[in-house]
Amino acid sequence: MSLPSAVSNHRYSPRLARTALIAVAAIGSLLVPSHTAVAQTAAEQPRTWELRVASGELVPAGTLRNSLRDAQVTAVQVSYAIRPSLAVTGTFGWARSRDIASVDSPKLDVFTSDIGIEGRAGQWFANHAVTFAPFAGIGAGARSYNYRSLDVNATHNVAGYGTVGGELGVGRVGLRLEVRDYTSGFKPLAEVGRASVGNDVVIMAALRFNQQRPALNK
């Protein structure tokens, strides 16, 4: 079954619609200017390009829990800050899972590549020892499932996500925490049965280092 026909069998997903609405609302609230945010970020110099290597966990939900095992994830992210409150982020992720619906639970690589937009709020507690900068976003891309050692064709699917998170800053160290709710097409790995829509949650964390230590309020 082709991917377009698989997706057309599921024209409406209440969970995807709910996730998208929440993400859009969150982005809107982050983009609304406030005197506090402007005052806190007036001295900030936005970084135009950002490169991160994140790690975390992929947690299948719903029917996918019958096919996939929880998996460790490694992701490379590149962000371009259009302005301090808006960025475009591309992500390539690799999760090491297993097909628990098959005999011997063969190893399964789950590859995700996508691009999306992030709405970013002003930094909270600016110029203090600990800062926090929340964000929310939506995006879309592709999801592929490939057996690591079996001679079976990989399956490819369209995927969309909503994300929320924030960056915790302590001195020169920034810790970015992110939770993504993915909804994607899912073709049976055994190539038997109809394609469906699956859902999973990806939790990631990444470290970065500032060139200068923020000045503290006295």
pLDDT of 217 reads: 43
For residue 199, tell me if it sits in a domain. Answer: yes
pLDDT in tens, 131-183: 899 999 999 999 999 999 898 889 999 999 999 999 998 877 889 999 999 99
Q: What is the pTM of this model?
A: 0.74
Q: Tell me the residue type at 56.
A: G
With respect to residue 63, please indicate whether it lies within any of the assigned structural domains: yes
Q: Is residue 215 part of a domain?
A: no
Q: How far apart are CA 119 and CA 148, in angstroms?
A: 37
What are the distances in angstroms from CA 157 to CA 6, 59, 110, 112, 119? Answer: 9, 18, 11, 10, 26
Q: Residue 170: which CATH number? A: 2.40.160.20
* Residue 127 maps to a domain: yes
Examine the pLDDT at 39 and tell me if it is beyond 60.
no
Question: In Å, how far are 45, 92, 126, 128, 209 from 217, measured between CA atoms?
Answer: 19, 39, 9, 6, 21
- 217 occurs within a structural domain: no
CA distance 9 to 4: 9
Q: Tokens standing for 47? A: 């970084």
Task: Report if residue 201 sits inside a domain.
Answer: yes
Rounded Cα gap, residues 66 and 100, in angstroms:
7
Domain region containing 200:
3-209
Chain segment 88-142, per-residue pLDDT in tens: 999 999 999 999 988 899 999 999 999 999 999 987 877 777 889 999 999 999 9
Domain total in the chain: 1
23: in domain: yes
Note whether residue 216 is domain-resident: no
CA dist 114 and 139 (Å) reads 7
